[in-house]
Structure formats: structure tokens, C-alpha cells
Amino acid sequence: MARTLSPVADVLELNLSCPNLQGKSQIIYDPEATEAVIRAVKKNTNKKIAVKAAPFMDVAAQQEFCEIAKKTGVDVIVAINTIGNAMYIDADREKIMLKPKWGGLGGEALKMLGWGNVRRYHEFLKGSIPIVGCGGIYSGKDAFAYALAGASAFAAASVLYKEGVAAFARMENELEAELKKHNYAGLQDAVGKAREF
């Protein structure tokens, strides 16, 4: 697949953390499999490789993934993917509203876990691999918080679903206002600048 997509892609994103594979584990939680997949893709492309990472709850496992990312030459980490095994029940109708019952939990519910994971990446990687913040970004202020945690770019899907493409111009304007309000000349100046309590 890497050879097929490389001629038309700038970056190949490896989703090693899809939580919606019924009966299969997420690759990213298996260090040997993660390393093997990244190496196989890198061998078959000259494009940059991004890895979409699962929300790590285990700090040691996240640090181990960081070591794999560094030694295999991952170019970008996208953090975080949705959380699997979520369910939505309409209690009024007494009905499970997802097929096949479970799905990935995304949007607003991910924001704090996303900030925490991005901050850990920022600390573990010390700027050696750029981080794309993802999870619960609905405003420029949300993106600004991801930058303060350590992200230098952002991905947003739930807001696109809710508001359409106009959301991106709004969020860009809001982000610029946040940077100005906090006296940052540009986004890169804010990356990782969250102060401890």
C-alpha cells in the first residue's frame, strides 16, 4: 500500500491505533508489531511517515512507543486517536445507538487526555519529532492549549462534522487572537510553554 500511495501523497499516516477492529488488538500496544510495521512502510516509501497514536494511559508504554518512533525514524506523531469500547444508549428508547454496538469515543471527551498525551510526547521526545494535537478541538483556544502542551499542528474532525469547513477559518482566527493575547509572535513560540501549577 505504501508503494501505491506514495506517488500521490506528501505524508503517509499509519493508523496503528484504530479502536474499531472487532476481535483484534491495536497494533500500537504491541511494541514488536509497531516497529515491524513502521520499518516495512519506511522500506517501501520515500515519503514522511506519521503515526496516529492511541491514547496512552500507561506512561511506560507511551515512553516505549517514543523510543520505537525515534529509532525507526517516524517523522510525525498524531495524538490522540479515539478511545475504543465506547457505547451510546438512548435511555428513552432503551436502544443502543451504534452498530455494531461499540465505537470510538471522540470529540470533547478526549481533550484533557489529548493534552496529557501530547505533553508526555513533548517531554519524552524533546522536540525530536513534531506532534499533531488531535482530540476535542472545537476552538482556537483548544488548539492553543494543545500548542502549550507541545503540539505544533492540529487535526480536528468532530467540529467539521458539526459545523462544516467554515469552522477552520473561525478556529484559525481564534488561535491567532489567543497567540496575540498571550504575546506570542507565532504558533511555534507557544509550543510546550504550559507552565506547571
Catalytic residue among 2, 6, 15, 18: 18
Q: How many CB atoms lie within 10 A of CB 65?
A: 25
Known catalytic membership, residue 134: no
Secondary structure in 3-state letters for the chain: CHHHHHHHCCEEEEECCCCCCCCCCCHHHCHHHHHHHHHHHHHCCCCEEEEEECCCCCHHHHHHHHHHHHHHCCCEEEECCCEEEECCEECCCCEECCCCCCEEECHHHHHHHHHHHHHHHHHHHCCCCCEEEECCCCCHHHHHHHHHHCCCEEECCHHHHHHCCHHHHHHHHHHHHHHHHCCCCCHHHHCCCCCCC
Please check whether residue 158 is in contact with residue 107, taking contact to mean a CB–CB distance below 8 angstroms. yes
Instruction: Select from 116, 38, 31, 27 the least CA-distant residue to 73.
Output: 38
Catalogue the active-site residues: 18
